[in-house]
Amino acid sequence: MSFDEQYFNLGYIDTLSYKNTCIHRLDPRTKVIATLAFVVTVVSFPKYAVTGLLPFFLFPVLMFALGDVPVWFILKKVLVVSVFAVFVGMFNPLFDSRVMFSFDGIQVTGGWVSFLSIILKFLLTISAALLLIATTSFPGICHALRKLGVPELFISQLLFLYRYIFVLMEEAMRMVRAREMRSFGARGQGLRIFVSLIGTLFLRTIERAERIYHAMLSRGFTGTMHFVKAHRLGGSDIAVLTLTGIALFIFRTFDIVGIIGRQAEGIF
Amino acid sequence: MHMADSLLSPAVGAAFWAGTSGALAYSAKKLKASMDEKMIPLMGVLGAFIFAAQMINFTIPGTGSSGHLGGGMILAVILGPYAGFIVMASVLTIQAFFFADGGLLALGCNIWNLGIYPCFIVYPLIYRPIVKSGSTPKRIAIASIISAVVGLQLGAFSVVIETMLSGRSELPFTTFVLLMQPVHLAIGLVEGLVTAGVINFVYAARPEIIESIASARPLVAGLSIKKVFGGLLVVAVITGGVLSWFASANPDGLEWSIEKAFGRPELPERENNVASALKSLQEKTAFFPDYSFKKAEGPPDSAEAGKSETSWPAVEAGTSMSGIIGSALVLISVLLIGVVIKLLRRKSGGNRTI
């Protein structure tokens, strides 16, 4: 991914989070807790679980549909980060070649089943994280984390970081452009130029931090950050949390796919 | 390299979250006691700096492929261990949210791998002692390179450990180590060169900046090696405790990794009893019934791998057929629900309706 692309992606996901749908209107705490519960439940499935994971796709699909999140944009991001999980999972079929089933002579080994399980878990957990941020503003998430007991200092750190990512990325983007204009894409890409580029960016960052601090002081900063938008847990939040909890429990406990499959076989 | 949710078991994820949040809370408390409030905006903006710097690519000498900065070591050197750790943790948190690097459960592991090692082990034990007796450019360069290499080796090794303990991957321990460590040796060398370059660049251009930060940050003198070891020991014991407590719900993964680590399928007599005790504990405490793909219940011994052929569930053709039909139906209905909601929204126009 090129620099510009990364920058615009970050900005785009930020604008998504300011939409106004029923998912966006939920309290950030609700979404953070529900997402964490979802991730832990998915990951708690044993190594060879495949069919048990399928009903869980209901959650991202509901988020996509109700939260009005563009599907392809998220899927593309999921694919970009899939490298490590696929790389490690890929070895399962090589090392675990015990046959688990055979359909009409096609033998399916345990390795392929556990590989498929890793991929399904990967899709579910990563899309959950991205959907959380696409439907909740980052300051909202910080607020939720603070209410859930994360240290104040870390929260203010996150808020600052988020606020200045865009500023510093623009700064860095200008420098990268300038390097490219002068080097015709080939020369000047080496370590030496890179180091002085980063060093200069660092000095500018420090100077900026100094100015920010003075600006904050003159506005009465005493060491704590305040939130303007008040959030509160409403009836819909409690309903969503309860429903999510029940659904997660049912999907984790009962073999939904097996039950539906047997029913369907009975009908045909 | 970022650890991923899908390779983790909940027990391992939770254990590393516990260790990481302990370190975060401790650092925040330490900083609050002794820090200049000037540090708050400085730390935030430096986090954004690391973020922006990670997106600038350069050509790795001699190979032609491109690399980018990690940043943990630079932060530890400039901000000191506590503030450096908090900034690194915030950078990784934002990456986990916006770029889905790894995922939310794995975030604990990632902060551990990329934050704890550079800030609390490598910086006080390697970087400081080398630079202590005078920070000449040469010393800074040597210290940075060694620190970055050791930090990344530790990080890469703990990715291996986390994956092994979770038991989701079949990759044998030695193969995984042989894949991870050399790659991260190369990455560490480059990271070290960049770290040294940037620190020396800043020192040469504006030495007073580093000094003014050094005076605002809490004194590192308080961070003695004894304390570091003591703290890490406590964290390790707690982590181990949490891990083994959680692991009782999932003895498969742990047994499996013990087996790989010891290179033989059977453990000594005594541990056999432990394993069976764990297993019976699991049967009592497990509130999720065994999943159908799981190994069939056999006599509780830890030598399962040795007899694995016999312990596979005997899958009847009928069961697997209903599994396939069921899967297809579930996926189709999930997709249908999504499509119907989308259509309903579009029909009623606007995004405030549902």
Q: Which 3-state string (H, E, C) describes chain B?
A: CCCCHHHCCHHHHHHHHHHHHHHHHHHHHHHHHHCCCCHHHHHHHHHHHHHHHHCCCEECCCCCCEECCCCHHHHHHHHCHHHHHHHHHHHHHHHHHHCCCCCCCCHHHHHHHHHHHHHHHHHHHHHHHHHHCCCCHHHHHHHHHHHHHHHHHHHHHHHHHHHHHHCCCCCCHHHHHHHHHHHHHHHHHHHHHHHHHHHHHHHHHCHHHHHHHHHHCCCHHHCCHHHHHHHHHHHHHHHHHHHHHHHCCCHHHHHHHHHHHHCCCCCCHHHHHHHHHHHHHHHHHCCCCCCCCCCCCCCCCCCHHHHHHHHCCCCCHHHHHHHHHHHHHHHHHHHHHHHHHHHHHHHHCCCCCC
Can you list the residues of chain A whose pLDDT is less than 70? 1-2, 104, 185-186, 188, 223, 227-230
Alpha carbon of B268: minimum distance to chain A alpha carbons (Å):
25
Alpha-carbon gap, residue A60 to A75, rounded angstroms: 11
A189 and A238 together in one domain: no
The structure tokens listed for B156 are 């890469």
A167 and A55 together in one domain: no
pLDDT at site B19: 87
Partner-chain residue, chosen from B91, B163, B202, that has the shortest CB–CB distance to A199: B202
pLDDT at site B293: 37
**Contact at CB, A51 and B323, closer than 8 angstroms:** yes
Partner-chain residue, chosen from A151, A152, A196, that has the shortest CB–CB distance to B201: A196
| Residue numbers in B near A100 (CB within 8 A) | 312, 315
**Contact at CB, B289 and A161, closer than 8 angstroms:** no
A29 and A116 together in one domain: yes
pLDDT at site B63: 59
Alpha-carbon gap, residue B331 to A241, rounded angstroms: 24
pLDDT at site B233: 65
Chain B from 193 to 252: CB within 8 A of any A CB:
193-194, 197-198, 201-202, 205-206, 209, 213, 252
A123 and A208 together in one domain: no
A115 and A164 together in one domain: no
Partner-chain residue, chosen from B8, B59, B330, that has the shortest CB–CB distance to A54: B330
**Contact at CB, A191 and B193, closer than 8 angstroms:** yes
**Contact at CB, A21 and B352, closer than 8 angstroms:** yes
Taking domain B5-247, whether its CATH number is 1.10.1760.20 is answered by: yes
Please report which residue ranges of chain A form alpha helices under DSSP H. Answer: 3-16, 22-25, 28-43, 58-66, 71-80, 83-89, 91-95, 110-135, 138-147, 152-183, 191-218, 235-253, 256-267
A79 and A138 together in one domain: yes
A212 and A144 together in one domain: no
**Contact at CB, B338 and A257, closer than 8 angstroms:** no
Helix/strand/coil (H/E/C) assignment for every residue in A159-191: HHHHHHHHHHHHHHHHHHHHHHHHHCCCCCCCH
pLDDT at site B148: 92
Considering its fold, how many domains does chain A have in total? 2
Among B79, B114, B168, B257, most A C-beta atoms within 10 A, so best to mutate, is B168
A89 and A105 together in one domain: yes
Partner-chain residue, chosen from B59, B69, B167, that has the shortest CB–CB distance to A198: B69
| Residue numbers in B near A264 (CB within 8 A) | 322, 325-326, 329
A14 and A106 together in one domain: yes
Partner-chain residue, chosen from B3, B10, B102, that has the shortest CB–CB distance to A40: B10
Residue A179 is assigned to a structural domain of this protein: yes
pLDDT at site B283: 47
B12 touches chain A (CB under 8 A): no
Residue A158 is assigned to a structural domain of this protein: yes
Domain ranges of chain B: 5-247, 251-311, 315-354
Alpha-carbon gap, residue A143 to B158, rounded angstroms: 31
A182 and A197 together in one domain: yes
| Residue numbers in A near B87 (CB within 8 A) | 157, 161
Nearest CA in chain B to A204: B49
Nearest CA in chain B to A134: B98
Alpha carbon of A266: minimum distance to chain B alpha carbons (Å):
10
A215 and A245 together in one domain: no
A66 and A189 together in one domain: no
Tell me the pLDDT of chain B (354 aa) as tens digits.
578 888 888 888 888 888 898 889 888 888 887 777 778 888 888 888 888 888 777 776 665 566 677 788 888 888 888 889 999 999 999 888 888 777 888 999 999 999 999 999 898 888 888 887 777 888 889 999 999 999 999 988 888 888 888 888 888 888 888 888 888 888 888 889 888 988 888 888 877 777 777 666 655 444 555 666 666 666 666 655 555 554 444 444 434 443 444 444 333 434 444 445 544 544 444 433 333 333 334 444 444 444 444 444 444 555 667 777 878 888 888 888 888 888 887 777 554 444
The structure tokens listed for B157 are 């090794």
Establish how many alpha carbons lie within 13 A of residue B328's alpha carbon, considering only the half-sphere containing its beta carbon: 9
pLDDT at site A38: 94
The interface pTM score, or ipTM, of the predicted complex is 0.85
Residue A34 is assigned to a structural domain of this protein: yes
pLDDT at site A234: 83
B309 touches chain A (CB under 8 A): yes
Residue A120 is assigned to a structural domain of this protein: yes
pLDDT at site A60: 92
Q: What residue numbers bound the domain in which A216 lies?
A: 151-229
